[in-house]
A = this chain, B = another copy of it.
Amino acid sequence: MTVTLADVAARAQVSPATVSRVLNGNYPVAASTRERVLRAVDELDYVLNGPASSLAAATSDLVGILVHDIADPFFGIMASAIQSEIGGPGGRAGGERLAVVCNTGGSPERELTYLTLLQRQRAAAVVLTGGAVESAPHAEAVAAKLRKLSDAGTRVVLCGRPPAPDTGAIALAFDNRGGARELTEHLIGLGHRRLGYIAGPLERTTTRHRLEGHRAALEAHGIPVDDRLIVHGRYDRQSGYEATLELLRRDTSLTAVVAANDSVALGACAALRDSGLRIPDDVSVAGFDDLPFGIDAAPSLTTVRLPLSDAGARAGRIAMGREEPPPGDLATVRGELMVRGSSGMPRG
């Protein structure tokens, strides 16, 4: 048998109620009594029963963080920042909360299942990171879930994810469109006219927005959008490698490759090198996100820096009710163009 509140109460010669109040510190207890209780807790090595406590109090100290891929630093960095504000041990502000990082693998079904699991645990808050899937039924299902969570008192924050109207969710969205546009304009400014684009998976908001920004830049400069220069793939290095080979196969005259993110860009670099092309002399390459490793690539990667850490921290604070939500429950977080060695003027 494990030690219970009652055991502590007996040892401290007080009622269970008093022990509970000492432990929660939300009710006046005489200093001498408190000390007696604390000593008993210590002597018995008592640990509160979480489920029982959550049941009785109808709240829990769980905070869920949903990420697409925990092995990807893009999410790791955000999760880390969110968690640091959530508290848990260390983030001393207001009660120990257990931050739960849930790996959805980008699958909408798992996303829903995790949300249900968190709802079941009566989570105090939920932060969803990364782009959303655009398929209507899923979007609707997720929205319904979020609404239910909101109604149940769970604070819902979207970090790096477009807003979900009428769900009570607070959104911190990345300006993927603007960043992508700026990036492509940088390349155009250097003189590039034939640009390949390696997009992310279809039906993802992030993919669509970045692609839209790219297209907008082209159009604004009177460059016709050639769909043959757009290839879709996953958000990983290998996908970037393959897509680049495909791009090269389709059009050997391109002078720049814009990638959906940094990992894809590094794959692209590898493919170009393996094809005997120099970067940026023969082909310029650009990524997105500015993950830490981009700087160590050769040449270092031109990209758009997203303030993942800041955004995550802010999302965490909002989730904890420690910061005011932005007006209209929506804030747009801008990226910043980082020009480095992988982009240069086109050959000739």
A59-93 with Cβ < 8 A to chain B: 60, 69-73, 75-77, 79-80, 83-84, 88-90
Quote the shortest CB–CB distance from A87 to chain B (angstroms). 11
- Given known contacts A55-B51, A109-B89, A292-B237, is B70 in contact with A79 (CB within 8 Å)? yes
CA distance A90 to B103 in the complex (A): 10
Q: Which residue in chain B gives the minimum CB-CB distance to A48?
A: B120
* Chain B residues near A102 (CB-CB < 8 A): 88, 98-99
**Taking the complex as formed, is A25 at the interface, i.e. its CB lies under 8 A from any CB of chain B?**
no
**Taking the complex as formed, is A347 at the interface, i.e. its CB lies under 8 A from any CB of chain B?**
no
CA distance A100 to B84 in the complex (A): 15
Q: Which of A69, A71, A117 has the most CB of B within 10 A?
A: A71
Quote the shortest CB–CB distance from A62 to chain B (angstroms). 8
Partner of A113 from the list B53, B73, B80, B89 (CB cut-off 8 Å) is: B89
* Chain B residues near A96 (CB-CB < 8 A): 113, 117
CA distance A107 to B91 in the complex (A): 12
Quote the shortest CB–CB distance from A128 to chain B (angstroms). 15
A189-197, A200-208, A293-301: which lies at the B interface? A293-301
* Chain B residues near A114 (CB-CB < 8 A): 88-89, 98
Q: Which residue in chain B gives the minimum CB-CB distance to A114?
A: B89
* Chain B residues near A83 (CB-CB < 8 A): 70, 103
Quote the shortest CB–CB distance from A97 to chain B (angstroms). 9
**Taking the complex as formed, is A50 at the interface, i.e. its CB lies under 8 A from any CB of chain B?**
yes
Query: Judging by beta carbons under 8 Å apart, are B49 and A52 in contact?
Result: no
- The total of chain A residues at the interface (CB under 8 A) is 62
Quote the shortest CB–CB distance from A139 to chain B (angstroms). 18
Query: Judging by beta carbons under 8 Å apart, are B122 and A51 in contact?
Result: yes
- Given known contacts A71-B80, A80-B69, is B297 in contact with A120 (CB within 8 Å)? no
**Taking the complex as formed, is A101 at the interface, i.e. its CB lies under 8 A from any CB of chain B?**
yes
Chain A 166-194: CB-based contact to B (< 8 A → 1; otherwise 0): 00000000000000000000000000000
* Chain B residues near A118 (CB-CB < 8 A): 98
Quote the shortest CB–CB distance from A318 to chain B (angstroms). 19
* Chain B residues near A270 (CB-CB < 8 A): 295-296
CA distance A115 to B172 in the complex (A): 32
Q: A residues touching B (Cβ–Cβ < 8 Å)?
A: 2, 45, 47-55, 60, 69-73, 75-77, 79-80, 83-84, 88-90, 96, 98-105, 107, 109-110, 112-114, 116-122, 148, 152, 237, 266, 269-270, 292-293, 295-299
Can you identify 23 A-B contacts, CB atoms within 8 angstroms?
A2-B152, A47-B119, A48-B120, A50-B120, A51-B52, A51-B53, A51-B122, A70-B76, A71-B73, A71-B79, A73-B73, A73-B76, A79-B101, A79-B103, A80-B103, A84-B105, A88-B113, A90-B107, A98-B100, A99-B103, A293-B293, A296-B296, A296-B297
